[in-house]
Amino acid sequence: MQQVTQDLILEAEIQMKKMVSYKGELEIFLAELKNLTFRVAILESNPDNYVQLDFELLRVELREFEALVAQLRESLNSSSPALDSLHAEIHNMSRIVDQLETYDKSNLEMIRVEFIKLQRILEECQEETKVNKPDIGNCDHGVIVGVGEPVVGQLNAHLNVDFRFGGWGKDSKPVRGFESMYWYGAYSSPSVYEFNLYSNYDQLILRSSFTHHALPQGYEGTGNNYIVHGNAIYYQTGNPFRMSKLNLTTSVYNQRDVPKASERFTYIYSPKQYLDFSADEKGLWVIYATEEAKGKMVIAKIDEQSFGIEDEWTTGAFKSLAGNAFMACGVMYATRPGDLTTEEIFYSYDTRTGREKHLSVPLRRFQESFANLHYNPTDQKLYMYNQGYYVSYDVKFDTDWTPFYVH
């Protein structure tokens, strides 16, 4: 009886872990499905904006939905009305997309209705596999151990792939009333001279900004690794080389020199990315390389009140070999190219303990190269500006982790 009980407990633990894993996948696909609904709505309102790549994405993502549901049914060794209905609807939707030869308004409306039905059924499936969601804002966990599939919003607001430099995302420390705000700026060269703010994700997708900022002469920026934090944009300026801050409420500018930062080391994918701004649960950071560290990345904590550097940590990662870097819970993560479609998070440095660690966490790129990658603590997502496209990722941390303290 004891042996049978132990076997049953073990089997139950295995099934629970599967449920947790599939819950995460369902959440990712639900977010993708909502994005698809928005994109089809845009096509319906203005078919002239349609590009063939958008429709190909529908086919790819529907196949992913169908594979996930089939895997769920097989793994759980059971079924349910919600799972059966979801599988049937996805299969039906795939057939419609494959048979569609013309893309007039009536067909687009039919697709959008099908997406809404799929979204509702998928939400029911989520309830059946419901587990606790990540504790947003809490850092009681280990390093990043997984990154979800890329969720592609759409081509940028300029509808132009030549605008491959830039960034997008959410305010990492939003002020009251602007928790849903998104920002976006893109350019044909590694520079910063204007950007737009959107009241929510829907307005971003609809390209309907509520305000537009054009940086005045003398305050233009360079590079691409800028962010919005506490209703202020932080970016890099040149001539002279320094970090800059624009308060979006008062339109007041501040600039500070970073004496140790070198203009000789940048990331692989983009020139002039000397100061990389990042924000996480611990505050505001800037990452750069120095001559003193022979090109290795240095993490600097920014005092938000004085807009000065309050502390520094030298890592073991060379900036010129990295694709990009970001901060999450006081830990710096560096990426490097894998193959044409894969990036790898290969290195981490914990500013609290001074420990560095080599990782191998794959991150699938939508396009070959990208200009901006940063983490947002308000939703625990990565935001990437990938060859002109809005791309985001869910992040999974190691929860089976024992804290390490330095005395």
| pLDDT of the residue at 253 | 92
| pLDDT of the residue at 341 | 86
Task: Dump pLDDT digits (tens) for 361-394.
Answer: 999 987 888 889 999 999 999 999 988 889 999 9
User: Which tokens is 81 given?
Assistant: 């009305």
| pLDDT of the residue at 233 | 94
Which one, of 155, 139, 133, lies nearest residue 26 by Cα? 133
Residues of the chain with pLDDT under 50: 50-53, 101, 129-132, 405-407
| pLDDT of the residue at 225 | 85
pTM of the model: 0.69
What is the set of domains in the chain, with CATH numbers?
A: 2-128 (1.20.120.340), 144-397 (2.115.10)
Torsion sign across C-alpha atoms 146, 152, 157, 158? positive
Contacts of 15 by beta carbon, 8 Å cutoff, 6+ apart: 76
Task: Let me know the angle formed at the C-alpha of 49 by 57 and 113, rounded to the nearest 5 degrees.
Answer: 60
User: Which tokens is 362 given?
Assistant: 């794959």
Per DSSP, the residues of 325-350 read EEEETTEEEEEEEEETTEEEEEEEEE
| pLDDT of the residue at 101 | 44
Task: Dump pLDDT digits (tens) for 196-210.
Answer: 999 999 899 888 999
Helix (H) or strand (E) holding 106: helix 105-128
Helix (H) or strand (E) holding 312: strand 308-318
The Cα–Cα gap between 133 and 122 comes to: 17
